[in-house]
Structure 1
Amino acid sequence: MSHFEAFMLALIQGLTEFLPISSSAHLILPSQVFGWQDQGLAFDVAVHVGTLAAVVMYFRSEVVSLLSAWLASIFKGHRCREASLAWMIVLATIPACVFGFFMADIVELYLRSAWVIAITTIVFGLLLWWVDRRASQTRDEYDANAKRSLFIGLAQAAAMIPGTSRSGATMTAALYLGFTREAAARFSFLMSIPIILLAGTYLGTKLVESSAPIDFGGLGIGLAVSFISAYACIHVFLKLVTRIGMLPFVIYRLVLGFGLIALLLSQQ
């Protein structure tokens, strides 16, 4: 992988990880259009670290507050809304862990195809549009209870299907439950921290066990570019989502999905 390819793939990963437009759909395009090779395990670890660092850095005050309250609730029995939110994030992470443990191989073998990505990009884009139009938007992230958190967690688990979009699925579920657009985005971004950490740890373990050569220059590019682009993406999205809504992302998903279908049909 050239350093230009590393730059572009890290940029794509950073920009699409937190937008409701599916990072997997975008990462398949370079290989389909330009014939680029798979970026490799080490690069996957690097961009996971970059995007994780970006969301933790952006929400650093919230992360410190939530983590402190969560630990205080465990060791001192303190109860407050930050501790409750932290527990709801933990609860919302469980379905994806269970689904990943039992279904990861099936997803890898049977669902990582361009056709699946194209179809799910369209279907879940339309679902996001339908929910966003009807959302009551009366709750914030602190209104998350066990039932709502598990529902959003199930949506995150379903997003293991390529093309669904983790952030898109969780925001859709939160909007359906009456969260405001900003609260849905914030809860989705905070939920991403444990799941990206777990995914990065899993990939890191596989990397340690492998004997593949490592291009440290490419890794440095991937880490830096994914961090900067993800941080900027989170900032801009939270500033704009209340005003513009989800429709621009729905339109983009439809264009992307049908574009992928057209590309695949042209290659047959």
Structure 2
Amino acid sequence: MSDIGPLQAAVYGVVQGLTEFLPISSTGHLRIVQAWLNPHIDQAGFTAFTAVIQLGTMAAVVLYFWRELLHVAVAWLRGVFSHLRGGNGAERQSLEYRMGWYLILATIPVGVFGLIFSHQIETGARNLWIISVALIVMAIVLFVAERRASRDRGEDDINSRDAIVVGAAQSLALIPGVSRSGATITAGLFRGLDRVTAARFSFLLSVPAVVASGLFEVRKIGGPHAPGMGITIVATVISFIVGLASIAWLIRYVSRHSTFVFVAYRIALGAVLMVLLATGAVSAT
């Protein structure tokens, strides 16, 4: 039977929606809130719950970028069919066609590592000491990226090397506390992409990886150690609504400001969490 009630499900939905797209780690925040609200819940069941409610924020991405995603899908399919028919290759020159391949290429690493380390992700990797360290370390890396990045390349300049680097960085987000958006935006900045381009590519890249993860875990919902379907739906719907607002806000924000506010927040949260762990106020597991 689930330890999560409707009000707690709403809290998890808000946390997921707010933190999925900000470079501050949604998984880390959900785990921290869980240690406070539901300290005795089964971790494997909670991992499945958090993976599924991410589908709400992915629906927000699809709605916000539906035109771009549709253009990418159509251009990619046209280019593939053109190649199979022996066409002149004109369809394969567009940015949308190349973006389709970049998203596929960048998704492969996280898919491979996610399957290999699925057990560790559900258990030991969710230790709050690991999350606190990951919050601070990733903050430092993001700070360096902001200071050293040229940020002189736009969406038209994205290439296969960018996809490989950003895709590899996305794999680091399998460690709670790193942040999928934080890792991918940071990698994009290191590659010289401007902040808006890095953020948009990060959002688009999140769709295949998180949808696959959510659909893979949905089978566990309603099991003996996992939250029920009704509770999960409540959290998912709320994460969709909040996530949609979060996307719009972040794109506007990074078009005018650096990511230093998120660097400071990550360091402060990581430090506070370490103090709570060291004093025994919260349990690491």
Q: TM-score range by the shorter chain?
A: over 0.9
Deviation at 1:238, TM superposition (A): 0.1
Deviation at 1:102, TM superposition (A): 1.5
Note if 1:232 corresponds to 2:245: yes
Note if 1:200 corresponds to 2:206: no
Deviation at 1:32, TM superposition (A): 2.7
Q: TM-score normalized by structure 2?
A: 0.88
Q: Give the secondary-structure state (helix, strand or coil) at the position aligned to 1:162.
A: coil
Note if 1:248 corresponds to 2:251: no
Aligned match of 1:122 in 136, 143, 146?
A: 136
Aligned match of 1:148 in 162, 167, 178?
A: 162
CA-based RMSD of the aligned residues comes to: 1.9
Deviations 1:86-109 (A, max 9, x none): 110110000111111212223334
Q: Give the secondary-structure state (helix, strand or coil) at the position aligned to 1:100.
A: helix
Q: Which residue of 2 aligns with 1:177?
A: 191
Cα distance in 2 for partners of 1:117, 1:165 equals 10
Is residue 43–residue 218 contact of structure 1 (8 Å, CA) maintained in 2? Answer: no
Q: Structure 2 vs 1, CA of residues 21 and 41 (structure 1 numbering), >3 Å: closer, same or farther?
A: closer
Note if 1:28 corresponds to 2:34: no
Q: Give the secondary-structure state (helix, strand or coil) at the position aligned to 1:245.
A: coil
Q: Which residue of 2 aligns with 1:19?
A: 22
Specify every segment of 5 or more residues in structure 2 that has no aligned partner in the other structure, as ranges: 84-90
Deviations 1:161-202 (A, max 9, x none): 111000000000000000000000000000000001110111
Is residue 43–residue 222 contact of structure 1 (8 Å, CA) maintained in 2? Answer: no
Q: Which residue of 2 aligns with 1:53?
A: 59
Aligned match of 1:64 in 70, 83, 105?
A: 70
Q: Structure 2 vs 1, CA of residues 10 and 165 (structure 1 numbering), >3 Å: closer, same or farther?
A: same
Deviations 1:97-145 (A, max 9, x none): 1111212223334322000000010000111011112111111233222
Aligned match of 2:235 in 208, 222, 241?
A: 222
Cα distance in 2 for partners of 1:32, 1:83 equals 44
Q: Structure 2 vs 1, CA of residues 106 and 213 (structure 1 numbering), >3 Å: closer, same or farther?
A: closer
Specify every segment of 5 or more residues in structure 1 that has no aligned partner in the other structure, as ranges: none
Deviation at 1:242, TM superposition (A): 2.1
Report % sequence identity.
38
Cα distance in 2 for partners of 1:81, 1:257 equals 39
Q: TM-score normalized by structure 1?
A: 0.93
Is residue 13–residue 23 contact of structure 1 (8 Å, CA) maintained in 2? Answer: yes
Deviation at 1:70, TM superposition (A): 0.9
Q: More deviation in 24-33 or 170-179?
A: 24-33
